Structure 1
Amino acid sequence: MLYTPIKFRNVELKNRWVMSPMCMYSCENGLANDFHFVHYVSRAQGGTGLIILEATGVEPRGRITNHCMGIWTDEQAEKLQKIVEFVHSHSESKIGIQLAHSGRKGSTWNNVQIPVEEGWETVAPSSIPYHPKERIPHALTLEEVKEQVQHFKLAARRAAAAGFDVIEIHAAHGYLIHQFLSPLSNIRTDEYGGNFENRIRFLLEVVDAVNEELDENIALFVRISGTEYAENGWNVDDSVTLSKILKQHKVDLVDVSSGGNIHGAKIEVRAGYQVPFASKVRNEAEAETGAVGLITTTEQAEEILQKGEADLIFIAREILRNPYKAVQGSFEMDEDCFFPHQYLRAKIST
Structure 2
Amino acid sequence: MSQLFTPIKLGPVVLPNRIVIAPMCQYSAVDGKATEWHTIHLGQLAFSGSGLLIVEATAVEPEGRISPGDLGLWNDETEQALATTVQAVKKYSAMPLGIQLAHAGRKASMPVPWQPGPAVTPENGGWQPVAPSAIPFDKHSAQPKALTQERIASIIASFAHSAKRADKLGFDVIEIHAAHGYLLHEFLSPISNHREDEYGGSLENRMRLTLEVFSAIRKVLPENKAVGVRISASDWVENGWDLQQSLTLCHKLKELGCDYIHVSSGGLSAQQHIPLSPNYQVPFARKIKAEVGMPTIAVGLITEPEQAEAIIATGEADMVALARGILYNPHWPWHAAAALGAQVSVPKQYWRSQPHRVKGLFTED
TM-score (norm 1): 0.97
From the superposition, tell whether residues 254 and 201 of structure 1 become closer, same or farther in structure 2 (CA, over 3 Å): same
Alpha-carbon displacement from aligned partner over 1:128-163 (angstroms, at most 9, x marks no partner): 111145332110001111011001010001000000
From the superposition, tell whether residues 195 and 339 of structure 1 become closer, same or farther in structure 2 (CA, over 3 Å): same
Select which of 105, 116, 119 maps to 1:113.
Answer: 119
Q: Residue 227 of structure 2 corresponds to which residue in structure 1? A: 220
In the TM superposition, what is the alpha-carbon distance from 1:189 to its structure 2 partner? 0.7
Matches of 1:84 and 1:183, distance apart in 2: 38
Residue 39 of structure 2 is aligned to residue 33 of structure 1: no
Matches of 1:312 and 1:302, distance apart in 2: 10
Select which of 41, 44, 54 maps to 1:42.
Answer: 44
Matches of 1:349 and 1:78, distance apart in 2: 43
Q: Which moved more, 1:81-90 or 1:248-257?
A: 81-90
Q: Residue 291 of structure 1 corresponds to which residue in structure 2? A: 298
Q: Percent identity?
A: 46
TM-score (norm 2): 0.93
SS at match of 1:147: helix
In the TM superposition, what is the alpha-carbon distance from 1:115 to its structure 2 partner? 2.0
Residue identity matched to 1:315: L
Aligned residues: 350
Alpha-carbon displacement from aligned partner over 1:237-262 (angstroms, at most 9, x marks no partner): 11111111101111100000000001
SS at match of 1:265: coil
Alignment check: 8 A CA contact 1:14 1:92 kept:
no
Alignment check: 8 A CA contact 1:91 1:338 kept:
no
Q: Residue 136 of structure 1 corresponds to which residue in structure 2? A: 143
Matches of 1:263 and 1:323, distance apart in 2: 31
Residue 310 of structure 2 is aligned to residue 308 of structure 1: no
Select which of 65, 81, 89 maps to 1:79.
Answer: 81
Select which of 91, 94, 112 maps to 2:93.
Answer: 91
Matches of 2:352 and 2:223, distance apart in 1: 38
Residue identity matched to 1:262: S
Alpha-carbon displacement from aligned partner over 1:90-112 (angstroms, at most 9, x marks no partner): 22311111000000001101353
Matches of 2:234 and 2:356, distance apart in 1: 40
In structure 2, stretches of 5+ residues that fail to align are 358-365
Alignment check: 8 A CA contact 1:31 1:69 kept:
yes
In structure 1, stretches of 5+ residues that fail to align are none
In the TM superposition, what is the alpha-carbon distance from 1:44 to its structure 2 partner? 1.2
Alignment check: 8 A CA contact 1:63 1:101 kept:
yes
Alignment check: 8 A CA contact 2:29 2:70 kept:
yes
Alignment check: 8 A CA contact 1:92 1:338 kept:
no
Residue 253 of structure 2 is aligned to residue 251 of structure 1: no
Alignment check: 8 A CA contact 1:330 1:336 kept:
yes
SS at match of 1:211: helix
Matches of 1:194 and 1:130, distance apart in 2: 19
Residue 66 of structure 2 is aligned to residue 60 of structure 1: no
Q: Residue 342 of structure 1 corresponds to which residue in structure 2? A: 349
Residue identity matched to 1:308: G
Q: Which portions of structure 1, spanning 4 or more consecutive aligned residues, are displaced by more than 6 angstroms? A: none
Matches of 2:356 and 2:148, distance apart in 1: 59
Residue identity matched to 1:90: Y
